[in-house]
Structure 1
């Protein structure tokens, strides 16, 4: 009787209902955790598991976007799946979704309230002028609201060019498959991209690379608290920087490296480049020394690591594979020392890629050899770095006259 009278009291009724609500949330959370099963890879390809898992994450993001887009684009999804690189597929889908949201929010072309309900008839109303306004007016600067914060997004011509490319591919495909009646892409406004001048290419000079590697060895530029961290990671940091400036690796290529990527007996290591290209790279003596030094004297033994990270080459202090963000911050930190600037203004890993290209050409290697090493799609990209070599030739010839005036 006492229990019944207590439970009927308004105060206790509120407490009991609150406890019930909290228990319900806990059960739902536990159910969600239970459904988040660990990913198991049944891998019959030559790719290491970490790359397969990373690609799977990108595929999942693509599928999430595809679920939101109109059904008549389904064949376009198949085309992207088979026709372009995985990262490009994600970028194109993101741009298309962003454009569809623009149609709903900013135009009267469609009456749909959700992207998935946009129709073929709606898309047939779209003109080149619609696209030009979207890219030229809307995308150049727009606001994104998140909770109580309004973020102003501003895109340069390179970013606008990417969005234009995404929509061009979409509309050409829809026209080819007779989903839309006209090919409107010819009316898209051109987007001028600034021509990259050789002198504007940011890179380290050869003597600056030597200073950077000295800074890793000595640690003299760090505070006492920073030195505690440096003492635990200096061999790892040096190996990372040497690989960047020797091979001009892309950030993703270095982040994906494993212990099993290296075969020191054969003097080579394996990397996976854009569009899934598998490449064997020769190891020079310097790289072999710094990598072995790191693995043997600093890296945590694989026996002490979990299955996901035991093969990862470069580890954080938490014994996890280093993220691209952590590697980028590491490079910025050491290049900032050489440049005499703040960590925020240090060079990115891509600038070390430019450093490798310029240094190789200055050492006398042909632009075609450098193009092959760095995996440039077009030799004109490599020629930008060769322009510095031309300046050296000009100075030599200028100061080597046979006939005096």
Structure 2
């Protein structure tokens, strides 16, 4: 079912655009489930009630890809389509079969695309995700007494590189200033880019200020509406992972940037289609900006800050890292930053504080009460 076909009967506090977006993912999940064997139906219910919607979609995609591999690349099943894989055939799968699939097939495989052959490669992080998906499937089918053995203990470990603070890509404080100057004055833009910039300058500025102040996720920013903001109360509402509804305080610079954009540049709602009347950030076609267009915008301005080609600019997630490291650099505790950015684990936030190991020494060294005699 296409997005435009959805009619929202929305009794929740979520805006219609978020409900529609979630329903798109749900419909995609249901379409994948319809391709999979019927004996997995209880697993589908388990995913639906135990993990986030985006994770559910990712797990189902991984399971479908594995089942397609069984059909096309192995003798484990006689089925010609995934739906026809039998329970007894799935019971014949050994840990070594899964290890070969993840460690050998998934690491590098070929895909035919429009007459050409594309080489697909997955590194350890992607392979670990696929392993996690299959581990959850096989464990559930064993607990559900569909499989006679729990083969997951035999799955090979996948070594992931330890996150290194020095390798975190982010903008430094002076680079943020260059980026904001570029969006303010058009510095570093090509003549062609300036034509668009003259029409979207205030919008682009508001987007970058929101990203670098709050460390919003791309999805959180793209879904923002005019009605998300209560300027009288000085706050706005976002919807985070797993459907968490959160009120965020507005600071003066963000409020100023938003009001300038809304009052001086954003088309009036009377001139917009019904679906986009409440959308905060609009394209020149007077539609809600897509995630791709926000990505391109961020990549363009960060490339100017980094003095690098456009393709080497940063993603919105790197501005999330920028916000985290900048807040810690300004002296906020990692627990406050964890709460603001919605990190599940404080160890994620600690990565952004690692560069401050010697900060106490530097503070004390440069903060003397008594003059030397």
Equivalent residue, structure 2, for 1:390: 357
Measure how far apart 1:392 and its partner are.
2.8
Matched, 1:166 2:133: yes
Q: Counterparts of 2:355 and 2:346 in 1: how far apart (Å)? A: 15
- Secondary structure at the aligned position of 1:249 is classed as coil
Of the structure 1 ranges 93-102 and 220-229, higher mean CA displacement relative to structure 2 is found in 220-229
2:67 to 100, 112, 118: 100
- Secondary structure at the aligned position of 2:337 is classed as helix
Q: Counterparts of 1:234 and 1:385 in 2: how far apart (Å)? A: 30
Matched, 1:121 2:88: yes
Is the 1:244–1:356 Cα contact (8 Å) retained in structure 2? yes
The 5 A counterparts of 1:83-98 are: 83-98=50-65
Matched, 1:239 2:206: yes
Matched, 1:81 2:48: yes
1:28-73 Cα shifts (integer Å, max 9, x gaps) = xxxx9xx997422110000000000001110111111111100000
Q: Counterparts of 1:279 and 1:80 in 2: how far apart (Å)? A: 24
Measure how far apart 1:349 and its partner are.
0.5
Give the direction of change, closer, same or farther, for the CA distance of 1:36–1:279 in structure 2 (3 Å limit).
closer
Is the 1:109–1:126 Cα contact (8 Å) retained in structure 2? yes
Is the 1:100–1:115 Cα contact (8 Å) retained in structure 2? yes
Of the structure 1 ranges 250-259 and 223-232, higher mean CA displacement relative to structure 2 is found in 223-232
- Secondary structure at the aligned position of 2:276 is classed as coil
Measure how far apart 1:276 and its partner are.
0.5
Matched, 1:134 2:101: yes
Matched, 1:328 2:292: no
Matched, 1:184 2:151: yes
- Secondary structure at the aligned position of 1:144 is classed as strand
Equivalent residue, structure 2, for 1:307: 274
Q: Counterparts of 2:126 and 2:111 in 1: how far apart (Å)? A: 17
- Secondary structure at the aligned position of 2:357 is classed as helix
Is the 1:358–1:388 Cα contact (8 Å) retained in structure 2? no
Is the 2:67–2:82 Cα contact (8 Å) retained in structure 1? yes
Matched, 1:195 2:162: yes
- Secondary structure at the aligned position of 1:207 is classed as helix
Larger Rg: 1
Give the direction of change, closer, same or farther, for the CA distance of 1:136–1:327 in structure 2 (3 Å limit).
same
Q: Counterparts of 1:164 and 1:140 in 2: how far apart (Å)? A: 12
Of the structure 1 ranges 388-397 and 316-325, higher mean CA displacement relative to structure 2 is found in 388-397
Measure how far apart 1:82 and its partner are.
1.0
Measure how far apart 1:400 and its partner are.
8.3
How well do the aligned residues superpose, as a CA RMSD in angstroms? 1.8
Equivalent residue, structure 1, for 2:333: 366
Equivalent residue, structure 2, for 1:148: 115
Equivalent residue, structure 1, for 2:217: 250
Q: Counterparts of 2:360 and 2:156 in 1: how far apart (Å)? A: 41
Of the structure 1 ranges 285-294 and 222-231, higher mean CA displacement relative to structure 2 is found in 222-231
Q: Counterparts of 1:39 and 1:109 in 2: how far apart (Å)? A: 40
Q: Counterparts of 1:156 and 1:149 in 2: how far apart (Å)? A: 23
Is the 1:245–1:355 Cα contact (8 Å) retained in structure 2? yes
Is the 1:206–1:359 Cα contact (8 Å) retained in structure 2? yes
Equivalent residue, structure 1, for 2:249: 282
TM-score between the two structures when normalised by the length of structure 2: 0.96
Q: Which runs of 5+ in 2 are unaligned?
A: none
Is the 2:182–2:189 Cα contact (8 Å) retained in structure 1? no
Measure how far apart 1:164 and its partner are.
0.3
Measure how far apart 1:395 and its partner are.
4.0
Q: Counterparts of 1:147 and 1:310 in 2: how far apart (Å)? A: 39
Is the 1:235–1:298 Cα contact (8 Å) retained in structure 2? yes
Aligned residues: 370
Measure how far apart 1:389 and its partner are.
2.0
Equivalent residue, structure 1, for 2:17: 50
TM-score between the two structures when normalised by the length of structure 1: 0.89
1:211 to 174, 178, 182: 178
Is the 1:203–1:351 Cα contact (8 Å) retained in structure 2? yes
- Secondary structure at the aligned position of 1:266 is classed as coil
Is the 2:110–2:118 Cα contact (8 Å) retained in structure 1? yes
